[in-house]
Structure formats: C-alpha cells, structure tokens
Amino acid sequence: MSAKILEKEQLSENVFRLVLDAPKIAKKRKAGQFVVLRIHEEGERIPLTIADANADKGTLTIIFQTVGKSTNHLSELNVGEELLDLVGPLGKPTHVEKIGTVACIGGGVGVAPVYPITEAMKNAGNHIISIIGARDKSLIIMEDDMKAVSDEIVVTTDDGSYGFHGFVSQALEEKYLLQDKKIDLVVAIGPVPMMRAVCDVTKKYNVPTVVSLNSIMVDATGMCGACRVSVGGKTRFVCVDGPEFDGHQVDFRELIDRQRIYLKEEKECMDHYCTCKQQGKGVK
C-alpha cells in the first residue's frame, strides 16, 4: 500500500520526522516494531523503526537520519507526496511488563525507536530512567518527548556542549550503576558501537540488557536471510526473530562487519544520485 506524507519536520542537521497516513499499520503496531518503505519504482526497501503512531488519526511517525541515497531522497519529499509502498508492522513487539526500574537509552537517531518502548514501559508502571545522547547539542532529538515519559532523564553529549560530558554508556555507569542504584532492565538503541559499549557496562553489573538491531534487510518478512546475526552463537534473523535481542549474547563485531557490506555501493549510488540531480535529470 502507498502512504501519503502528512507532516514533515527537521529535528536536527540530518534527522527528519515524517508523519504518514497509514491507518491499518497505526492500528496494529506495538512498541519495538518497524516498517519497510519504498519511495519509487527503482527504490530499495528501507526498514525503519516506528517512532510513534496514532490509531485514532490513523497516522504513523518515522524518524530517520540521512546517510545514503535513499534516506536523502526521503528527506527531500514534501507534505502531500506519497511513498510508493509501506509495509508493516514488522518484527516482534517489545516484551513490556512491570519489572521495576528500566533504563531506556538512545544514542543519536536511536532515541526515535527508544521512545515508543519508553512510553510502553512507563505505561506498564515502571520507573523510567532515560539516557539520551549525541555527538553535540545540536544533534540531541526528542528531549521533551522523552522527558514526558520518564521519571529521570540524563542528556549526554560527546563534546560536553550540553548535559553530561561523555557517552551514554559512561553516564549509565557513573550516575547509576557505580552508585549502586538498582536498575532491573536496560533497553539500548543506537549505533552498534554505542549498543556494544552499553552492553559491556551492563555485563559488568549483571543488568539484563535488550538491544534493537538495525541490520541490512531486503524482504524483511522472513524470506531472504540478509539480516542474520549471531546471538549466543546461533544464527538468528532480525526481521522475524527480532529486532530485539539479549544484548549480552549479540556478536556485535560480526554485526558491524555485516553493516559495511555495501559501503562502496552506497557511495556509488549516492554519487550517481548527486550527478543526476546536478544534470537536472529526473531524480530516481
């Protein structure tokens, strides 16, 4: 099914928020699930976590960072335009229950997928500690949204331009775990090195940690196997077994390598796109 863009907002230099008209998915989606979209006939299938939804209005919110051709193209679409295909909700929903204190950690654009999980965990009656971080102040997104669903919030920047000076993993350790503050579950979503760093810390303190993986996918419905990851020494498929896994079992090294498979092609595709635009050819 196609989906019309209802709202568009730029959250930071290269992070955008789109609200889409997608009533069927909006009604069904649960925290932790994702969609796959395609912009045009020659386009690739782009998996993106659902950042928010409104079942009554039939809307779905996606937040994404421009990294390559497809996300740049997506950021250039305007309100009123349509995505060619939108499919979802995909993946297993987050397991939400009242367990006590939950630390919800988002790095960079990873705050977007962490938000609906935080909201669901809060609604389930948990005490929520949110830790969100980015390279610098201008890249911090959704601070107010996160505040609204948290009992405590820490904002970190790598350069110290705002909030805690350091990584989210350091804030977690220094402000909470080192101080013997009890945390029952950590949910961490962001760039793979960030999730790995958080898991390294929580392993030390024996705190169960859930991560949401954004591996490369093609069909994303349990057919192609592109998204496979090693979890606890076993091959698992992120699209149907995940996207959430026990962070202490994930082979992050392998995941980092696998995310780099198409670096060369991604650059080539982006260059091709830029050249086409410069020459005034129809952008595909």
Partner 1 sequence: MEMKERLKIPRQPMPEQEPKVRARNFDEVPLGYTPEIAKLEALRCIQCKKPACVDGCPVEVDIPGFIALVAEGDFIGAAKKIKSTNALPAVCGRVCPQEVQCEIQCVRGKKAEPVAVGRLERFVADFERAAGEVSIPKIPASTGKRIAIVGSGPAGLTVAGDLVQLGHDVTIFEALHKAGGVLVYGIPEFRLPKAIVASEVDYLKNMGVKVETSNVIGKVATVDELFEEGYDAVFLGTGAGLPTFMNIPGENLNGVYSANEYLTRSNLMKAYLFPEYDTPIVHGKNVAVVGGGNVAMDAARTAMRLGADNVYLVYRRSRQEMPARIEEIHHAEEEGIQLNLLTTPIKYIGNDKGWVTSMECLRMELGEPDDSGRRRPVPIKGSEFIWDIDTVVVAIGAGSNPLVQSTTPGLDTNKWNYIIADEETGQTSREGVFAGGDIVTGAATVILAMGAGRKAARAMHKYVMSK
Q: Which residues bind partner 1 (CB under 8 A)?
A: 1, 24-25, 28, 38, 42-45, 69-70, 84-90, 218-219, 221-226, 228-230, 235, 237, 240, 253-254, 257-258, 260-262, 265-266, 268-269, 272, 284
Q: Which is nearer to partner 1, 13 or 254 (CB)?
A: 254
Q: Closest approach of Cβ 198 to partner 1, in Å?
A: 22
Place of tokens 């020459």: 279
Q: Which is nearer to partner 1, 71 or 130 (CB)?
A: 71
Q: Closest approach of Cβ 43 to partner 1, in Å?
A: 5
In three-state secondary structure terms, 176 is: helix
Q: Which is nearer to partner 1, 28 or 137 (CB)?
A: 28
Round to whole Å and give the CA distance between 129 and 154.
8
Q: Which is nearer to partner 1, 200 or 266 (CB)?
A: 266
Residue 19 is inside which H or E element, if any?
A: strand 15-21
Q: Closest approach of Cβ 262 to partner 1, in Å?
A: 5
Q: Among the residues of the chain, which ranges form H helices? A: 23-28, 69-76, 111-123, 143-148, 168-172, 192-205, 238-241, 252-259, 263-278
Q: Which is nearer to partner 1, 179 or 279 (CB)?
A: 279
Q: Closest approach of Cβ 80 to partner 1, in Å?
A: 21
Give the total residue count for the chain: 284
Round to whole Å and give the CA distance between 90 and 75.
22
Q: Which is nearer to partner 1, 170 or 215 (CB)?
A: 215
Q: Which is nearer to partner 1, 211 or 229 (CB)?
A: 229
Q: Cβ(107)–Cβ(166) under 8 Å? A: no
Q: Closest approach of Cβ 227 to partner 1, in Å?
A: 9
Place of tokens 């830029």: 274
Return the closest-CA partner of residue 43 out of 85, 90, 98, 96.
85
Return the closest-CA partner of residue 184 out of 229, 126, 225.
126
Q: Closest approach of Cβ 239 to partner 1, in Å?
A: 9
Torsion angles phi and psi, residue 78, rounded to 5:
-120, 165
Give the pair of three-digit tokens for residue 21: 């008209």
Round to whole Å and give the CA distance between 117 and 121.
6
Q: Closest approach of Cβ 218 to partner 1, in Å?
A: 5
